């Protein structure tokens, strides 16, 4: 059965102005996106991520051109920061938490950004949980930049993207999720997550719509 497509909200240029907005890119890293990364080695099909990554790169180009802040967000794990609750949650499902926790390990190629690389002018936020706001300096940095609006992209839609979007809304940011610049390993999860975010936390847009607004700034 085909997934129900989500309705996009027409955006006004003032809502996404360079003076108040930041582009956020969540977890486009080797272990999550590369066929040679940890999940790729487990057999996860990465091909469905390619269109989203291409759209992210085009949005980064726009943001750099108009001087809009770009935030690269990545997971960085270590034994010192591993979640005991997450490990127990995995164990209770009969899964091997040790191998799963090895994803995006600090100092490995797995944590490196993939096909979408930050420049020296971009902000990099390294997190240890799903949300980019959990025990990071993201919120304080955004406030010092005068930013109240986030344009969120990345992978995976239903996990770290949605977790970050929910926290952003709870920190009183206006949140736009670029639907075709996010992706999940299953389209049903992607579409369901978009519906959930649109229902309570964010406005949905797409790459073409953002291009149209940023192209006039």
Q: Which of 28, 31, 22 is nearest to 52 (CA)?
A: 28
- Spacing of C-alpha 207 from chain mean position: 14
Structure tokens given for 138:
């993201």
Spot the catalytic one: 24, 104, 160, 182: 160
Report the alpha-carbon distance of residue 189 to residue 182 in Å, rounded. 11
Spot the catalytic one: 24, 27, 104, 180: 27
Please indicate whether residue 160 is annotated as part of the active site. Answer: yes
Q: Assign residue 172 a region (left: φ > 0; alpha: ψ between -120 and 50; beta: otherwise).
A: left
Please indicate whether residue 182 is annotated as part of the active site. Answer: no
Contacts of 127 (CB under 8 A, 6+ apart): 73, 74, 75, 76, 134, 135, 136
Spot the catalytic one: 127, 159, 180, 182: 127
Report the alpha-carbon distance of residue 140 to residue 122 in Å, rounded. 16
Please indicate whether residue 123 is annotated as part of the active site. Answer: no
Structure tokens given for 164:
């970050």
Please list the active-site residues: 27, 127, 160
């Amino acid at each position: 059965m085909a997934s129900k497509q989500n309705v996009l909200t027409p955006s006004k240029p003032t809502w996404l102005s360079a003076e108040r907005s930041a582009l956020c890119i969540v977890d486009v890293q080797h272990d999550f996106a590369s066929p040679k990364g940890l999940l790729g080695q487990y057999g996860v099909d990465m091909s469905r991520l390619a269109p989203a990554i291409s759209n992210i790169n085009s949005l980064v180009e726009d943001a750099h051109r108009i001087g809009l802040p770009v935030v690269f967000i990545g997971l960085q794990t270590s034994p010192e920061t591993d979640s005991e609750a997450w490990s127990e949650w995995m164990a209770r499902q009969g899964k091997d938490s040790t191998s799963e926790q090895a994803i995006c390990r600090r100092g490995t190629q797995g944590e490196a950004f993939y096909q979408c690389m930050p420049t020296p002018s971009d902000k990099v936020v390294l997190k240890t949980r799903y949300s980019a706001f959990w025990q990071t300096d993201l919120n304080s940095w955004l406030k010092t930049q005068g930013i109240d609006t986030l344009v969120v992209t990345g992978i995976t839609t239903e996990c770290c993207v949605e977790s970050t979007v929910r926290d952003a809304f709870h920190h009183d940011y206006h949140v736009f999720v670029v639907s075709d610049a996010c992706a999940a390993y299953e389209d049903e999860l992607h579409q369901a997550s978009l519906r959930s975010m649109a229902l309570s936390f964010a406005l949905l847009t797409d790459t073409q719509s953002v291009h149209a607004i940023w192209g006039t700034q």
